[in-house]
Amino acid sequence: MISGRTRIYGLVGHPVRHSLSPAMHNALFARLGLDAVYLAFDVDPRRAEGVTDAIRTLDLVGVNLTVPFKERVLPLLDHVTIAAEEAGAVNVVINVDGWLTGYNTDGEGLLGALAEEHSFSAKGQRCVVLGAGGAGRAVASALAAAGAQEVALLNRDVGRAERAAAQLGARNPGCALHGAPLHPGWFGEIAERADLVVNCLGGGTEALVESLPIDPLPSTAIWCDINYWMSAPPRLSACAARGLRTSGGLGMLVHQGALSFELFTGYPIAASELRDTLEAKR
């Protein structure tokens, strides 16, 4: 029962009505007997500067952030973790007496999912990340920190990819990080030596991703798409038909969701447990 003492958590983004996060978190609150509720807040992107004020004013205990707020909210926080700073984006904000701390669990969530699904370790691997936004930088940062040999950031705005690669490379000198244009020719050259491709581009880019050639990818490569909400993520089925290992975004969702839930409540939750909870609610 919701009361005046119920603690409020939520997801802030646009759009968010499709999100599975409320189902995940509310099921866990109920199972653990916590007096808490998790809501989806669909916020006009033009009101990004008011998000942190709303968190403080309404005394929201914690929120997840998704597009387009992961990057816009970062400079308005009181403190951010190293992972969030490297990513240039936050996806979790914790409120303690009006003091807001930003975290980024996207990269760690992806690594957890790939380890669970494919026994994948980033150490010594050559990786390609499509997109240099908040999610792409978080993934690239996590791969580099985990010992990847090379991470190529491909983006339509190549300058953005190059800046992100330079910033991450300064913190991870053992990894060769570089930015490149996101188009079929460049991808085809890089794909020949790729162990992992992660699509971090969102809706509206499907045609561009579909244009990327997958034939040059080694037979041992993994293609991952973080867009769990897409019924048919671009190139995912084609890679599977070619015999490549593939991952949808659900694994990353549950792994980063488990990390978020622990930050929110202090309760450690296994990603497998969260996946079972989510599957039961779908």
Residues of the chain with CATH 3.40.50.10860: 7-104+254-281
pLDDT in tens, 1-36: 899 999 999 999 999 988 889 988 999 999 999 999
Question: Which phi and psi (to 5°) does residue 198 adopt?
Answer: -120, 115
Q: Amino acid identity of 225?
A: D
List of residues 6+ apart from 232 with CB closer than 8 A = none
Kindly give the pairing relationship between strand 62-65 and strand 79-80: unpaired
Contact status, residue 138 vs residue 144, Cβ threshold 8 Å: no
pTM: 0.91
Instruction: Please determine, for residue 281, whether its predicted confidence score (pLDDT) is greater than 70.
Output: no
Residues of the chain with CATH 3.40.50.720: 107-248
The CATH fold assigned to 7-104+254-281 is Rossmann fold (3.40.50)
Active-site amino acid positions = 70
Confidence of residue 251 (pLDDT cuts 50, 70, 90): very high
**CATH no. for 107-248:** 3.40.50.720
pLDDT in tens, 139-172: 999 999 999 999 999 999 999 999 999 999 999 9
Q: Enumerate the H helices of 45-157 as residue ranges.
A: 51-57, 69-72, 82-87, 106-118, 134-145
- Predicted confidence at residue 282, as pLDDT, reads 60
pLDDT in tens, 189-234: 999 999 999 999 988 899 999 999 999 999 999 999 999 888 899 9
Contact status, residue 12 vs residue 66, Cβ threshold 8 Å: yes
- Measured CA to CA, the distance from residue 50 to residue 28 in angstroms comes to 29
In percent, how much of the chain has pLDDT > 90?
Answer: 83
pLDDT in tens, 114-123: 999 999 999 9
Q: Which of 233, 229, 34, 67 is nearest to 138 (CA)?
A: 67
